[in-house]
Amino acid sequence: HSANQKFRHVFTQIFIFVCLCLEQNLVYTPGSKFFEVWNASDVSKVKFVAYVYNLTNSQEVLDGGRPNYEEIGPFVYNEHITRVNTHLSEENPPKRIGFSHRHVFVFNRSSSVGSTHETKIIAPNVQYMHFDSTGQPPFVTYTVDELLWNNRYKVLGFNVANFGLFASLVVFAGMLPGKSDPSTNWEERIHCNPKEACPPKGLVSFKKCLKKDGGNLDLYASLPRFLNADDRIVKKMDGIPPPNEKEHGSYIHVEPLTGLTLEGLERIQLNIFMANKNKDYRRMKGPYYMPLVWYIRENIADKPTMDAFKTQILDARTTTAFAIQLACGLFGLMSVFWAVILTVLCLRTRKQAEEEEQLTSVIKCTTFSLGIYESGTPDVESVETSSTLSDET
């Protein structure tokens, strides 16, 4: 029992020591290894791939026909993300880290199907939808570059510059598009705007996020090709290729102890909601969730981060596991050793007890015999008797 308590104490101390070492390296504070690597490697390279949707029959749609789409891509970019304006809070140690990201996209012509400045598509007029205006055509012709980055159209008497879908990257902290269905599950419905109807299954609204620009754009996110979305969305349109989880799903690999993202593959599609709510749509059927573009962002942790992760986490965990195994092995050997010692002592004690018991029995028998010998045996006197026979005459 005493040996078990000592072993538990030693094991607890080893575990606490390892946790303290990991904490010192994992916390993002000045002096920690991970902070130094994070602060030094301020540039990450991400592969950005876009596929755009070309509406081939825009006039037919306005006349009441079914939308027909053509998917064009890939258009590949090398995305460089730079961390700028890094600052720490004033607490000691600091509790918050503030920073901004600068995104630079470099077009990779050799990996793309064509030039973004020459490839033209027909899509909903984003500015028209954003400001809910009239007098502009509901569908316009864009180059791929204009749709993604550099829309410049005169709207309501002033120019809206750089109004591309990705000119301002939106970070959405809410439900990811997937298999959730707010229309039937109250746990999903609590993420909806209480003043508006919940979007269909598989769609997430960006409308509230975009209201800061003063507009009213009904922009929705989904998985590419409406993967896991309500089937009624796709059934209203033609030309949308069938999706599959392997090629159109998203995933992220996170190290469970540190929360470090080792690899991430983000696939998102942007869609715009169009309904026949004014004179420009008076003959159009619908409403439609019209796809604009879907993209892939593939990010893998850089080499300095992976090297730091290996030395500070994996090697430490391996060393800890080895130390624990060694301690368990030593404890097992000690247990066997003490078991052998105790067994030998028990056998020896038992043998001595048996010998003492036998010796006691011999002494008792000897004493009893000596007592009988000293008391002697009774004398037995033999008396001769004779018989006289007389003859009578």
pTM: 0.66
For residue 184, pLDDT beyond 70: no
Helix (H) or strand (E) holding 334: helix 315-375
Is residue 51 situated within a structural domain?
Answer: yes
Is residue 60 situated within a structural domain?
Answer: yes
| Other Cβ atoms within 10 Å of 74 Cβ, number | 16
For residue 107, pLDDT beyond 50: yes
Is residue 350 situated within a structural domain?
Answer: no
Helix (H) or strand (E) holding 144: helix 144-148
For residue 127, pLDDT beyond 80: no
For residue 170, pLDDT beyond 50: no
Is residue 344 situated within a structural domain?
Answer: no
Average confidence (pLDDT) over 338-354: 74
Domain housing 98: 42-301
Is residue 358 situated within a structural domain?
Answer: no
Ranges 171-185, 272-286, 319-333, most confident = 272-286
Decide the pairing of beta strands 43-55 and 97-108.
Answer: unpaired
CA 119 to mean position of chain CA atoms = 38
Among 21-25, 40-44, 187-191, the range scoring the smallest mean pLDDT is 187-191
For residue 242, pLDDT beyond 90: yes
Average confidence (pLDDT) over 142-148: 88
Is residue 2 situated within a structural domain?
Answer: no
Cis peptide before 287 (omega within 30 of 0): yes
Is residue 393 situated within a structural domain?
Answer: no
The pLDDT of residue 154 is: 33
Between residues 367 and 256, which one has the greater pLDDT? 256
DSSP one-letter code for 281: G
Average confidence (pLDDT) over 269-283: 80
How many structural domains compose the chain? 1
The pLDDT of residue 302 is: 64
Tokens representing 222 are 């989904």
Between residues 292 and 168, which one has the greater pLDDT? 292
Which pLDDT band, with edges at 50, 70 and 90, does 25 fall under? Answer: low
| In the chain, % of residues over pLDDT 90 | 23
Average confidence (pLDDT) over 302-321: 62
Q: How far apart are CA 78 and CA 76, in angstroms?
A: 7
Is residue 21 situated within a structural domain?
Answer: no
Among 21-25, 99-103, 152-156, 249-253, the range scoring the smallest mean pLDDT is 152-156
